[in-house]
Amino acid sequence: MAKDYAKSFYNGKAWKDTQAAYMASQCYVCERCGGMARIVHHMKYITPQNIHDPNITLSWDNLKALCIDCHNAEHMGKSAIAEGLRFNEYGELVRV
């Protein structure tokens, strides 16, 4: 689930338009494994300090189209996600 400081960004028109255009440009193919991409991932994570920087939040240079498994692996490999949790197809943290 999006953090509180990022909810308005992820629900905004600029992100929705960027996300849709980027995913279409990648033909919905995961840039890691070649599977079906479902999530546009920010390579440099969004933080409260950079949430208003379009070079981080909206730049295609900072985005990757990922399938759910690759997105989960990205986050589980870099941050502590409690056992029994994973990211769903919308990039939200959910209980398994």
pLDDT at 81 over 60: no
Q: What pLDDT, on the 0 to 100 scale, is given for residue 80?
A: 47
Per the structure, how many domains does the chain have? Answer: 1
Between the CA atoms of 15, 1, 75 and 88, what dihedral angle is there, to the nearest 10 degrees?
-90
Q: What pLDDT, on the 0 to 100 scale, is given for residue 31?
A: 94
- β-pair partners for 93: 87
Domain holding 42, by residue range, is 4-95
Residue range 77-83: average pLDDT? Answer: 57
pLDDT at 32 over 70: yes
Q: What pLDDT, on the 0 to 100 scale, is given for residue 14?
A: 97
Beta carbons within 8 Å of 45's beta carbon, 6+ residues apart: none
pLDDT category of residue 54 using cuts at 50, 70 and 90: very high
pTM: 0.76
CB-count exposure of residue 41 (10 Å: 0-12, 13-18, 19+):
buried
